[in-house]
Each structure stands twice: as structure tokens, then as C-alpha cells.
Amino acid sequence: MTPARRQTAPGTAVLSRKAVAAAVPVALAAVLAATTPASAGTVGAAGAGDPYFPLQGNGGYDVRHYDLRLGYDTSTGRLTARAVLSALATRRLGRFDLDLSGLKVTGVSVDHAKASFRRRGQELVVTPRHALHAGRRFQVTVDYQGKPGPVTDPDGSTDGWIPTDDGAFVANEPQGAMTWFPANSHPLDKALYDITITVPEGRTAVSGGVLVSRRTRGGHTTFHWRQSAPTAAYLVTATIGRFKVERYTTPDGLEVYNAVDPREAAAAAPVLRKLPSVLAWESARFGPYPFRAAGAVVDRAPQVGYALETQTRPLYDRAPDLATLVHESAHQWFGDSVTLTRWQDIWLNEGFATYAEWLYSEQHGGRTAQQAFDALYARPAGDDLWAYPPANPGSGARLFDTPVYARGAMALQRLRVTVGDATFLRVLRTWAQDHRHGHGTTDQFIRLSERLSGKKLDRLFHTWIGTAGKPAKP
Ligand code: ARG
Ligand code: ZN
């Protein structure tokens, strides 16, 4: 599923905004030229045109649904899998790519007819027996197996299939999806998921959405998870371990499923207990929670070093503190439901989730958002906080750095002070509502803020998200 008004080059709209434009690299054309073969008559592009991850995603089709059937042997670390993708050709396609890194592909078929394929780095290049005409719905089946492992990101962190002492911690932001399933893995293409995972009896396999069934037979347990809201590939998981499971329905009707590593249970319990009240508090500020299911996976995987806002069921590499729970929960609105169209816009995720932490603290007897802003503003001009603009980190190596999180949140505090509390909250709610289960760009956020406040905000956003260096005292 791609956004209705999908642009050929995602995010070009921002280029038209003078204020922010100055900060935007114009490498897009070069990247598109590099990823779209000149002879592209019937060939789907190898990438979605994102300068930060040029090979992520693919052109020429749009995935509607993934049916992933995985078997994982926790003693050997072997994965045996079949992926069935239901997709729509957006142009005539004689050949197309999927993203898949490592593993061994044993067969590919398109609409049940054997297709030829070859591997080329992270691209699985598929040639169906007959070209697919534009507008045609088709199914691709990929059989594959092997020992999955993580990918190392440009910032040195790892994501993807990360084996643990009792299973695997599976986190895909920004590019780990390709380490365990073939996909159109750019966030532009959201899809629905059915994920069936078979593990040795005694282990639990957790994904997003609701648990459709759980069956044990012959020493193995199969978990069938269904995610029925559009989901970006980086927000999908299949985390496996020895977990204590807790299930309940909240007064608001949300189905909660928490899976907790027993070694983390004591520390996690007091924080997880607050999940319903955190979601209710966020719903009161940001609008209705976008999904039916909720919960958490608390693993013991300290080598990971981060938590992730996996859709409906965030992943924690250890027992989270309350601020982290608030942060990952806020991402359900900002990032998961409203998804970026290019990685450069990452502040729309991290700046917003960080701001949610500030607001939560303010309204629960802690530091106010303005105090958080002031403490950051006190940092000297040479501090990393000012090293680059949140809306233009410059490369995939800087997606998760301080400017994106902290200065991104500072920009929202400036917006709040400038337009007033009521309008500010109306902007956040309208943003979540208008782009629910879809996508949003920085440019659209600026325009919405201007429209609802009746103020010209180009300069504010230029100063706080569009330029490097410490801004003058507001
Ligand atoms: N989005 C995560 C958060 O909530 C951070 C993910 C970091 N991922 C990485 N590969 N470093 O802050
Ligand atoms: Zn975050």
C-alpha cells in the first residue's frame, strides 16, 4: 500500500519550501538515475529512491499483504520459511526486485508458476514467466532458509534478526527486515501481515497485532499473528524467547499481550502496569489510539542497546523505564500510524516521541517541557545537539542522534509557545487524524501548523529544524 498521492521522488514537496529547501541535499536525481536502469522498459527499480538507503524498497509494484510462515530452531539458529506476498503491479513488469539479504532462496513462483531469480547483494531479482501488466494483482511465493543474522547500520548499530541466548530479538529499523523476509521494505509501502511462527515447545514467538491461534503438536508450538492495520516493514517483528505471557483487555477495549523475559519481570512489572493509563493519556492528547492491539515484548538482549516501536507491541531489549514506555507508545501515533516517506524526515518520529515524554513528565508532576527545553538550550554552541538540523541529518548514519530526538522536540516546544497550547494540541491531533494509517512529510506538517494557527511559521521551522548551529535565544 503506497500513499494515494505518492510522489515519484518522495519528499520533493519539501524542496519547494524556500525555508527548509536550503538544507536539503539535491542528490535525489542522481540516486534515482543510479537505481532506475535506463532500459527500464519493464523492469522494476531496485530502490524506492531514498537517498539514505538507495536500495531499500523497490519500484513497479505495491505489496498489500505478507503471509510469512517461519520455523525457527532455537538450538541451531536455523530458519526455514515461506513468504507469500500479494501485490499489485503499478506498471508493466517483466522483472522486479525484492529486498533480501543473506539466507538461501530455494524457489520463487509468481501466481503459482515457477519464476527464475537471482541474488544480487540485497536484491532478490525475480523474472516471472510472463510479464505482469500494469494494474494486475499477483502473488509471489519465496521459499528460503538459513541462519539469519543482523545487519550493521551506517551508525554502527545492528538491527534485523539478532539471536539471543533463548531465541531472537527481531528489530527492523531502519533496514533489518531484509535479514529475515523478502519485502518491499521501504516505509512508503505499508502492508497487512499474517505471521505464523513455529518454535520448540516452551518458547514463545511474538509479533504485532492479535494472536489468531496458538497450537502445540509434536514438541513444537505454532503462533499465528495477524496485523490488520497497514504496517511498514521496519515495524514488524518475530521475536522469540522464553517469555512469561500476560493478556488482558483494557477498559477501552484494547487487546493487550505482554511477553516478558522472566529475568526482567520484576523490573518491568511496575512500568508495564502503567501501559493502559499511558495509552489513555496519549489518546486524550493525540486522538484515539490507532490500533486494536497493544502490549510489549520485554527481552533480555542488552547487546541491542535500544528499544523499538514495533507496531502495536514495542520491543524492549531490557525492562524499560516509564519514559521509554511513553516514548515507544507515542510512536504508535507518530511513526507507526503516520509514517515517514523518506528517512530524512525521521524527526517526525523521534522529535515527536521525545516531546511526548516531556509533556507526560509535565502533566505528571515532573519537569515541564519548557524546563526540558531550557536545560538543552543551555548547552554550548559546540555541543553535538547543534551539529546538524533535525530535518536534514544528512545520512543514515545520523538517524538516531541527539539533534533528531532532542532538537526535534525543542522545535515542537517552540511551536507550542508560538501558537499556544490549545492550537498546538490541535495540530498534533489533526496530524494524527489526517494521516492515520498513512504517511506524512515535514512539509505537510509545517503547512498544517500554519493553517491551524493562522501564522507564518517558515522562519520558526527553518531555525529549529532546518539549519545547523545553535539558534539565537528565542
Ligand atoms: N526508533 C527507536 C526509538 O524509539 C530507535 C531505533 C534505533 N535503531 C537503530 N538501528 N539504532 O528510539
Ligand atoms: Zn523513538
Q: Work out the average pLDDT over 19-43.
A: 41
Q: 190 pLDDT exceeds 60?
A: yes
Q: Please state which CATH number belongs to domain 29-330.
A: 2.60.40.1730
Q: Work out the average pLDDT over 59-65.
A: 97
Spatial distance between the Cα atoms of 254 and 252, rounded to a whole number of angstroms: 6
Indicate which residue's Cα is closest to atom 3 of ligand 1: 308
Spatial distance between the Cα atoms of 130 and 108, rounded to a whole number of angstroms: 14
- C-alpha to C-alpha distances, 56 to 95, 121, 152, 374, 399, nearest whole angstrom: 17, 12, 15, 38, 15
Domain locations along the chain:
3-13+338-465, 29-330
Tens-digit pLDDT profile for residues 362-393: 999 999 999 999 999 999 999 999 999 999 99
Q: What are phi and psi of 87, to 5 degrees?
A: -140, 170
What distance in angstroms lies between residue 306's CA and the mean position of ligand 1's atoms?
Answer: 6
| Best mutation site among 306, 310, 334 for ligand 1 pocket (most ligand atoms within 8 Å of CB) | 306
Q: 283 pLDDT exceeds 80?
A: yes
Tens-digit pLDDT profile for residues 90-145: 999 999 999 999 999 999 999 999 999 999 999 999 999 999 999 999 999 999 99
Q: What is the pLDDT of residue 284?
A: 98
Indicate which residue's Cα is closest to atom 8 of ligand 1: 173
Q: 258 pLDDT exceeds 50?
A: yes
| Confidence at 164, pLDDT banded by 50, 70, 90 | very high
Indicate which residue's Cα is closest to atom 6 of ligand 1: 308
CA 232, distance to chain mean position in Å, is 6
Q: What is the pLDDT of residue 456?
A: 98
Q: 195 pLDDT exceeds 90?
A: yes
Q: Work out the average pLDDT over 199-217.
A: 98
Q: Where are the alpha helices (DSSP H) in 257-321?
A: 265-272, 275-286
What distance in angstroms lies between residue 88's CA and the mean position of ligand 1's atoms?
Answer: 31
**Cell 501488466 identifies what position?**
133
Q: What is the pLDDT of residue 26?
A: 35
Taken as a whole, the chain contains a residue count of 474
Indicate which residue's Cα is closest to atom 2 of ligand 1: 308
What distance in angstroms lies between residue 18's CA and the mean position of ligand 1's atoms?
Answer: 30
Q: 343 pLDDT exceeds 50?
A: yes
Which residues contact ligand 1 via a Cβ below 6 A? 153, 155, 157, 159, 173, 306-309, 327-328, 331, 350, 400
Q: pLDDT > 70: what percent of the chain? A: 91
Q: What is the pLDDT of residue 3?
A: 56
| Best mutation site among 161, 162, 170, 173 for ligand 1 pocket (most ligand atoms within 8 Å of CB) | 173
Q: Work out the average pLDDT over 224-246.
A: 98
Q: Work out the average pLDDT over 270-283.
A: 98
Q: What is the pLDDT of residue 2?
A: 59
Q: pLDDT > 90: what percent of the chain? A: 91
Q: What is the pLDDT of residue 42?
A: 86
The DSSP symbol for 83 reads E
Q: 427 pLDDT exceeds 70?
A: yes
3-13+338-465 has which fold?
Neutral Protease; domain 2 (1.10.390)
Q: What are phi and psi of 315, to 5 degrees?
A: -105, 130
Whether the Cβ atoms of residue 183 and residue 68 lie closer than 8 Å to each other: no
Indicate if 29-330 has the same CATH topology as 3-13+338-465: no
Instruction: Establish whether the linkage from the previous residue to 25 is cis, with ω within 30° of 0.
Output: no
Residues whose CB is less than 8 angstroms from the CB of residue 293 and which lie 6 or more positions away in sequence, other chains included: 208, 209, 210, 254, 255, 256, 257, 312, 313
Q: What is the mean pLDDT of the chain?
A: 92
| Confidence at 205, pLDDT banded by 50, 70, 90 | very high
Spatial distance between the Cα atoms of 33 and 152, rounded to a whole number of angstroms: 26
pTM: 0.92
The DSSP symbol for 209 reads S
Degrees to nearest 5, angle at CA 122 with 403 and 28: 50
